[in-house]
Amino acid sequence: MNVQFRIWIEKEGEHVIGKGGAKILRAIETEGSISAACKKLGMSYRYVWGYIKKMEKVVGPVVSSSKGGSKGGRTILTKRGREIVEYYEFYEGLINRLVSGDFLRIRIENGKVVGRSVEDGEFVIIRV
């Protein structure tokens, strides 16, 4: 058996980003354009642009585009866009490590961390 999970980030009850959105933003970052990101991910431009617009409605601009000349345009993530995808990836990684058992159990004695084996059932600290 495997443990499966889905996480997403919300702001005031509104969906901001999930696994697909994180893939979209990372692809835009690496490809330098929404169009190229769509091709890389096998997603329609309309779908990706709609996802970005929904995200921006909740948190503000996540991408910045410039119109191109002979070399075409370019799209980059805004500071906010990078923060959101990094925030999502941090928590996704944290949960992945927890599910995989990649953590240490410890306790604190007299202000010092004292390691314990998993069987001792002490506090859980996730390696970050």
**If you average pLDDT over every residue of the chain, what do you get?**
84
Indicate the helix (H) or strand (E) that contains 5. Answer: none
What is the 8-class DSSP label of residue 70? T
The answer on pLDDT for 13 being more than 90 is yes
Comparison of pLDDT for 36 and 113, the residue scoring more: 36
The answer on pLDDT for 83 being more than 90 is yes
* Terminal C-alpha separation, the chain: 26
Contact 43/28 with Cβ under 8 angstroms?
no
Confidence class of residue 127 from pLDDT cuts 50, 70 and 90?
very low
Domains of the chain: 9-100 (1.10.10.10)
CA separation, residue 84 to residues 4, 55, 109, 122 (Å): 23, 10, 37, 32
Confidence class of residue 84 from pLDDT cuts 50, 70 and 90?
very high
Tens digit of each residue's pLDDT (9 = 90 or more) over 19-72: 999 999 999 999 999 999 999 999 999 999 999 999 999 999 999 998 876 667
Amino acid sitting at position 4: Q
Report the phi/psi class of residue 12: left, alpha or beta, with left for phi > 0 and alpha for psi in -120 to 50: left
What is the rounded distance in angstroms from the CA atom of residue 21 to the CA atom of residue 105? Answer: 33
Phi, then psi, of 89 in degrees rounded to 5? -65, -35
Percent of the chain topping pLDDT 70: 77
Percent of the chain topping pLDDT 90: 60
